[in-house]
Each structure stands twice: as structure tokens, then as C-alpha cells.
Amino acid sequence: MGIQIDDAGWGCLIGPVFLGIYREETREYSFKEIPVQVFQGGSMARKEYLQAAYGVTGQLLEKLKVGKEEHITVCTGEVLQGVRQHLADYRFKWTAGKITGPLQVLVETTLLQKLNGLGLKVDYKTLTEQQGLLFWHCVRWLKGGNLKGKALPGRERLCKTGWKTFRVWADLPYEEAKAASKRLKAEQRKERLLQLKYGY
């Protein structure tokens, strides 16, 4: 028993990432947004989302009045590096681990409500178990329903445009984007291997 912290939205093209906190004994739950702006352009490249997660962590701990004697389990995701850094800096007792159960459902439901509020209209199963279908819905939404068209500027502002493949999906027809994205990812993998091999 203790405190748990998890996130939802890191792998979703649309919207912010949510951090959720949960006290198992009392079933208290609270959440905060890491705004979508830190996942856009240079902000994402500079990993500003880690600093945003760091700041949000303090707010969540305060909200649930978490004491230094309580044990905290933090999920292992990328954006949660900022959470773990905050806990280490402020000397909370914590470990990294997989989060399942109530908190996972609560924070994913929070994300689902946000997406549906934007007009995406997906269900919980699609969000959590059908990543390919969720992504298709996201691209379709981004393009206003026309998969052969381009992203709508008003909707682009609500997306994680810092993704390396974002412009491919935003600008090309869906089928062309699939092929181009695959090529781009293969090039990136090759580049990483060369960096590891030659250390540049």
C-alpha cells in the first residue's frame, strides 16, 4: 500500500500528457496536465516536458498531502523521469515499477475524457488495447475527416508536433505517410546504430 504515480498520453498524437497520483489506502485520486505545448517544436527536442513533469509532481504531492514517510511507486515511462528527479531531489521514498489497477484506469479515463472532449470519439478499449486504430483516429481527426488531405491548423495546435514523423502524417495522404514514416524510422534506427558504433 502507498502512493502511486502514473501517466497517460505520451504515445497519443493529440493532447497533453496527464500525470495521475493515487493513495491506495483511501482511494484518493488527483491529476494534472503536462501541457501539449512542451511536446511541440523545439520544446520537445529540448525535453522541456521533463521540467514540466518535475513542477507538476510538487503540485500533486501537495494536493494529496503526501508525507516523506509514505512510499511512492512511480511508473517507468519516459516523461516520468521528471517525476523521479523531483522525488529524489526532495528526498521522498520511492521506487520505479509497473502500475496496474485503479490508478492506471483512472488516468487513462482522464485522457479519454480529454480526447472525446476534443471530438475524437474513441472508447476505452481503443485507447488502451488498439494503438494502431487509435493512431488512425488521431490522424483522421487532425485532418478533419479527410485522410487524403492535410492537417487543419487549428487542430495541429492541439497535437504533439515535436514528434519526428509529425509533418509526414500532417502533410501526406495517409497511405503515403505510412510508407514515408516507415522509411524515416528505418533511417533513424540506422543513424542511432552508427552513433553507437562510431561515437559521434
Q: What is the pLDDT of residues 27-54, one digit of tens each?
A: 999 999 999 999 998 999 999 999 999 9
The pLDDT value recorded for residue 10 is 95
Q: What is the pLDDT of residues 55-77, one digit of tens each?
A: 999 999 999 999 999 999 999 98
Q: Which residues contact 11 (CB under 8 A, 6 or more apart)?
A: 131
The pLDDT value recorded for residue 184 is 82
Query: Checking DSSP bridges between strand 71-74 and strand 93-96, what pairing results, if any?
Result: parallel
Residue 45 or 200, more confident: 45
pLDDT at 200 over 70: no
What's the gap between Cα 54 and its chain centre?
15
- Are 168 and 151 in contact by the 8 Å Cβ rule? The answer is no
DSSP 117-177: HTT----HHHHHH-HHHHHHHHHHHHTTT-TTS---HHHHTTB-TTSTTHHHHHHS-HHHH
What percentage of the chain has pLDDT greater than the value 90? 84
pLDDT at 157 over 80: yes
pLDDT at 172 over 90: yes
| DSSP for residue 159 | B
Q: Which domains does the chain have, with CATH numbers?
A: 3-108 (3.30.420.10), 121-195 (no CATH)
Q: What is the pLDDT of residues 176-187, one digit of tens each?
A: 999 988 888 888
Average model confidence (pLDDT) for the chain?
Answer: 94
> 33 pairs with which residues across the strands?
18
Give the three cell numbers for residue 77: 515511462
58 membership: H or E segment, kind and range: helix 48-63
Identify the band that residue 158 occupies on the pLDDT scale cut at 50, 70 and 90: very high
Strands (E), 43-153: 71-74, 93-96
Give the three cell numbers for residue 42: 523545439
The pLDDT value recorded for residue 52 is 97
What percentage of the chain has pLDDT greater than the value 70? 100
